[in-house]
Amino acid sequence: MFDVIVRGGTVVDGTGAPGFAGDVAVKDGRIAAVGQISGEARTVVDARGRVVAPGFIDPHTHFDVQLLWDGAARPALEHGVTCVVPGNCSLSLAPLKADDRKAVVGMFQQIEEMPPEAFTTAFEWTWEDFAGYRAAIEKGLSINVAPLVGHSVIRLWVMGPASQERAAFPDEIAAMQALLRECLKAGAVGLSTSFVDLDAHGKPVPSRYAQFDELDALCAVLGEFGRMLQVVPEFYATDITIARIDQLAELSIRHGIPTTFSPLFDTLAVPDNAERAIARVEEQFARGARVWPQMQTRPIDISFSLLRPSLFFARLPRWVRILRQPLEQRVAALTDPDTRAKMLADLGPDGGEAMFGRLVARGGDACPPEYVGKTLSEIARLRGQPAGLALIKLSLENGLDVAFLSASQGHQSTDRIGPMLAHPLVHIGASDGGAHLASFSTYGDTGYLFSEFVRKAGAMSLEKAVAKITSETADIWGLKDRGRLAPGQCADIVVFDADAIDRGDELPAFDMPGDGMRYVRAARGVDTVLVNGEVAYAQGAYTASRSGVVCV
């Protein structure tokens, strides 16, 4: 008697091999058999007309805090994702001393745009070390987690405020090595670092103060375990990205570790950016390095309102400062004629037409209906105001609750991106799941891979697409017994309709702690998701199963 049989589907086993008609049987959380199976099971999942594949793995997320109250990392799981990697970009929630929590929460807010309530109202801080954090999330997981530990928090733990002032002394580097070793023993899948991020005060995060010899020493510890180094490079500058690829290659070869950098974007503003980076990756792989560029599937769209800070204004420091103020002060600043004049002057002589004119009023909020769906340029004309002033005044008149969409900011050419995603050395990832909550939806990139790049563009076969986000990801990250449908493998399984799997429309949801808002996309075409042999999602609903584990 099996526990589960997924019966009658097309088995796409994650290896890239052609799909075949068959069943998948599960016993004790593992796959027991694949093929024509005659036995019985306590649960039978009808997969006729559907694809049966290994669960998808998302290697770049920031679900660190959400996992403390939502063990399914909703809505990632319903998209067929059965394993997430949080702790990217040098930031994790452990190891973290109680006195340093405020500083790290500020970094999460600044870099990943997470609301403060997510850290203050939804859970109790019960840990400082990595094992304690692991125990805290493991209480309620229905998705698997392979957590990275952040370089910035390791540095902060060892050096305190000096972590954002100077290079580390040899004894401090040794202490960081010992701490990293402890984290890896407690289940960290690797180390993340950042070369670009700023904290809540606009100061570089601790990892950026590290000399290369510090990173090298930490990678020596990763080498003891064969674990991953993830970095955020200066992705907006090709020469610097290539320099980072070379640094990663040196570390990879010297310590025998896999490395990955994310994101790698395609942009028509620098048409050879991704192409040159990939060419360098090819050269470095040829000499034995492992440097995996992560590329996301979705185009870059950013939504914002003046209700909260947004990365949309990253190039306007005055706007950032004003929008980071508490609501009352923010409204006062936006209303003050002198302040407003300075803000508008920042936009240039056209009053913001070039910068803001193509923004579209999203609707579904307090925006007057006559403006919904119109560009800010059109709205400005209707109101007889320059675009920047129209943005501010329209927002003030409606409690700041007017959201705008800045579509297609880059990475939107399917013809260019499809072949890159199919490239054997390009790692599909960089979803940023669980971050940038009020800027864009970070869920559904896997559905978009199938709808846009398999069905519409034919950039790769269904089997190849499945392999890219299952077995290849598991192999890159060293996730043992994940990513394939074969006897003995962990039974992470997704059943989906190959003709329908997709991401839904981007919609605001008010399901974050403190009634916080985020943009989400529901899954389309995903029927059933099993995690370690238990049905975690079926026919549009999450189950009570809590079969997820820290899978390192």
Partner 1 sequence: MVLSRQRRFVTPGPEETIEELAARALPGQPLQAAVDSIKSWNLHVFAMRRPPGLMLGSDVIFVEPPVSNG
Using the rule CB under 8 A, which residue among 35, 49, 202, 364 binds partner 1?
202
The answer to whether residue 18 forms part of the interface with partner 1 (CB under 8 A) is no
Using the rule CB under 8 A, which residue among 99, 171, 239, 328 binds partner 1?
239
Strand partners, 53: 494
Segment near partner 1 (CB under 8 A); pick from 52-60, 100-108, 282-290, 485-493: 282-290
d(CA 464, CA 444): 18
d(CA 471, CA 36): 23
Q: How far is the CB of 213 from partner 1 (least distance, A)?
A: 9
Q: How far is the CB of 165 from partner 1 (least distance, A)?
A: 11
Using the rule CB under 8 A, which residue among 166, 185, 201, 480 binds partner 1?
166
Q: How far is the CB of 449 from partner 1 (least distance, A)?
A: 30
Greatest CA separation found in the chain?
78
The answer to whether residue 234 forms part of the interface with partner 1 (CB under 8 A) is yes
The answer to whether residue 287 forms part of the interface with partner 1 (CB under 8 A) is yes
Identify residues 296-325 at the interface with partner 1 (CB under 8 A).
317
Q: CA angle, 432 as apex, 112 and 425 as ends, to 5°?
A: 140
First to last CA, the chain: 29
Identify residues 509-538 at the interface with partner 1 (CB under 8 A).
none
Q: Determine phi and psi for 231, rounding to 5 degrees.
A: -135, 155
- The two three-digit tokens of residue 462, written as one number: 């269904």
The answer to whether residue 250 forms part of the interface with partner 1 (CB under 8 A) is no
The answer to whether residue 173 forms part of the interface with partner 1 (CB under 8 A) is no
Count of residues interacting with partner 1 (CB under 8 A): 30
Segment near partner 1 (CB under 8 A); pick from 116-124, 274-282, 388-396, 399-407: 274-282
Q: Determine phi and psi for 547, rounding to 5 degrees.
A: -95, 5
Using the rule CB under 8 A, which residue among 24, 32, 148, 215 binds partner 1?
215
The answer to whether residue 246 forms part of the interface with partner 1 (CB under 8 A) is yes
Using the rule CB under 8 A, which residue among 97, 101, 181, 276 binds partner 1?
276
Q: Strand 2-11 and strand 51-54: pairing?
A: parallel
d(CA 231, CA 444): 23
Residues 108-147: x where in contact with partner 1 by CB under 8 A, - otherwise, as a string: ----------------------------------------
Residues 380-409: x where in contact with partner 1 by CB under 8 A, - otherwise, as a string: ------------------------------
The answer to whether residue 284 forms part of the interface with partner 1 (CB under 8 A) is yes
The answer to whether residue 204 forms part of the interface with partner 1 (CB under 8 A) is yes
DSSP codes of every residue in 184-216: HHTT--EEEEESS-B-TTSPBPGGGG--HHHHH
| Count of C-beta atoms within a 10 Å radius of residue 266 | 23
The answer to whether residue 201 forms part of the interface with partner 1 (CB under 8 A) is no
Using the rule CB under 8 A, which residue among 210, 218, 343, 494 binds partner 1?
210
Segment near partner 1 (CB under 8 A); pick from 130-138, 281-289, 323-331, 486-494: 281-289
Closer residue to partner 1 in complex, CB, 151/427: 151
d(CA 52, CA 337): 61
Residue 178: CB partners within 8 Å, gap ≥ 6?
none
- Dihedral of the CA atoms 152, 155, 156, 160 (nearest 10)? -150
Amino acid at site 66 = Q
Q: CA angle, 56 as apex, 273 and 424 as ends, to 5°?
A: 40
Strand partners, 508: 519
Among the residues of 160-316, which ranges form H helices?
A: 170-185, 212-225, 238-255, 273-286
Nearest CA to 416 out of 301, 291, 273 is that of: 273
Using the rule CB under 8 A, which residue among 242, 323, 376, 389 binds partner 1?
242
Residue 321: CB partners within 8 Å, gap ≥ 6?
none
The answer to whether residue 280 forms part of the interface with partner 1 (CB under 8 A) is yes
Q: Residue 144's Cα: distance from chain center in Å?
A: 15
Closer residue to partner 1 in complex, CB, 7/244: 244
The answer to whether residue 197 forms part of the interface with partner 1 (CB under 8 A) is no
Closer residue to partner 1 in complex, CB, 117/165: 165
Please give the radius of gyration of the chain, using alpha carbons only, rounded to the nearest integer.
Answer: 23
Residues of this chain that bind partner 1 (CB under 8 A): 166-167, 195, 202, 204, 207-212, 214-215, 234, 237, 239-240, 242-244, 246, 272, 276, 279-280, 283-284, 286-287, 317
